[in-house]
Structure 1
Amino acid sequence: MPDPVKAGRRRSGAPSKGDLREQKILEVLGDLLAVKSFDALTTNDIAERAGLSRASMYFYFSSKQEALVALFAKTVEALREKSRAAADDPAAPRDAIATALRRTRDHWREHGLIMRVTIDQASTIPEIGALWTETAEIFIEAITAILVRAGVASHDGPDGAPALARAVCWMIERTFYHASAISPEALDQAAETCRVVWLRAAGIEP
């Protein structure tokens, strides 16, 4: 099975010929997902579009599922970095919330299709589920930190910062998931709605 850590690992130095081919495969996969469902897609489709033989394709990825894990790992790494930045944001909670949601909205605007397709496969590809859960936990930690700075008590009860942060995180995920399939304007509205909910959870007037 594919290793999510290996899939998302950054390499140092100039990319090798193999690195460039791997990158091309992932780019092609992203392009194909815009015109063909993942279930209907074959490794041969990916290989042909990438200008490789099927055998060469298998040198880089043993299956379309493994390629999708690698593409998702690459996509969510930027989201993880944004979440870590939100946790360390020294701005006032109101401003930190606005910044975090703006960055999240921009990510879904750019990568919404890949995010939706991959999340839909999480139940059948365990590595994707693990990657998404790990990414969500980073965002939950950031939301928790901002709620605590806003004065929300950090206890384990249903109204404590950790529990509220978990609910807010998954509310944001589902809201952006659906809005990204509609339009950029829908994403803007989704971001504003999530901002209001997050502020109210923090005890801050919108």
Structure 2
Amino acid sequence: MGRWEPGARERLVVAAVDLFTEQGYDATTVAQIAERAGLTRSTFFRHFSDKRELLVAGQETLSRLLADGVAEAPASATPLEAVAVGLERASAAMGPANRELGPRIKAAVAASTELQERDALKSVGMAAAMTAALVARGVPDPTAHLASELGVLAFKRGYARWSETDGDTGGLAACSLAALEDLRAATATLG
């Protein structure tokens, strides 16, 4: 087994997604994931505390990128413009591997209540990071929460479009920003 080979974390995620797709989340063991990745169980546990953590791998990084983008937006930016900068920053970190895994992760999450709960916590974490960054910019709390929730929804919708479309979508940033604009327009119809 490739004990010290680079990319162990990514290999574990891909192996897990493959196994979750093939045999379901509940039927997949840590040992099977490690074996499929060509790694040991101890290597698995150096990267993840349990198999639930695999599908939220990178959540902390994603939340930090969103918050950093919000914080770095121009001082004159509105809350949604700051969120848009956060979406662009986070989108820049996503590559072809993220795009390819998207539909498979979505299917695995849809098939497991436990993974749906973890995915919901991921969304809460992303929103909390952006809310804190907006509040630090002086945005009132209710406005910061609303803008952050719209940002999370835009990211999810943009990611789904980007990962499920074969053609050129202009990239994840373009898809997320288009989704944010759609949501901004939709809020005007709420009355």
What TM-score results when the alignment is normalised by the length of structure 1?
A: 0.56
CA displacement at 1:60 relative to structure 2: 4.2
Cα distance in 2 for partners of 1:184, 1:147 equals: 40
Which of the numbers 25, 41, 63 marks the counterpart of 1:57? 41
The superposition leaves residues 160-180 of structure 1 with CA deviations (integer Å, 9 ceiling, x where unpaired) of: x13531441242133123212
Identify if the C-alpha distance between structure 1 residues 49 and 100 changes in structure 2 by more than 3 Å, giving closer, same or farther: same
- RMSD after superposition: 4.4
CA distance in 1, matches of 2:183, 2:138: 9
Deviations 1:17-56 (A, max 9, x none): 98x57962x332333356554462633542333335xxx5
Q: How does 1:22-171 map to 2 (within 5 A)?
A: 24=8, 26-32=9-15, 35=18, 37-38=20-21, 40=23, 42-43=28-29, 44-52=31-39, 56-57=40-41, 60-61=44-45, 66-70=50-54, 72-73=56-57, 75-91=58-74, 92-93=76-77, 96-110=82-96, 111-112=98-99, 114=101, 117=105, 120=109, 123-125=113-115, 126-127=117-118, 129-142=120-133, 148=139, 154=140, 156=142, 161-171=143-153
Change (3 A) 1:90 1:80: same
CA shift in 2, pair 1:146/1:131, >3 Å: same
Unaligned runs of 5+ in 2: none
Q: Is the 8 A contact 1:82 1:100 kept in 2?
A: yes
Once residues 131 and 176 of structure 2 are traced to their aligned partners in structure 1, the CA distance between those partners, rounded to angstroms, is 17
Deviations for 1:114-148, whole angstroms, at most 9, x for unmatched residues? 56617826741455543442233112334566693
* 60 and 193 in structure 1: CA distance in 2 versus 1, 3 angstrom threshold: closer
Q: TM-score if structure 2 supplies the norm length?
A: 0.59
Tell me which structure has the larger Cα radius of gyration: 1
* Pair 132,191 (structure 1): closer, same or farther in 2 beyond 3 Å: closer
Q: Shift of residue 83 of structure 1?
A: 2.0
For residue 103 of structure 1, report the CA deviation from its aligned partner.
Answer: 1.9
CA contact 1:176–1:191 (8 Å) conserved in 2: yes
Overall identity of the aligned pairs, in %: 18
SS at match of 1:124: helix
Identify the residue that residue 164 of structure 2 maps to in structure 1. Answer: 181
SS in 1 for 2:168: helix
Q: How many residues align?
A: 170
CA distance change for structure 1 residues 184 and 197 in 2, over 3 Å: closer, same or farther? Answer: same
Give the counterpart letter for 1:139 in structure 2.
M
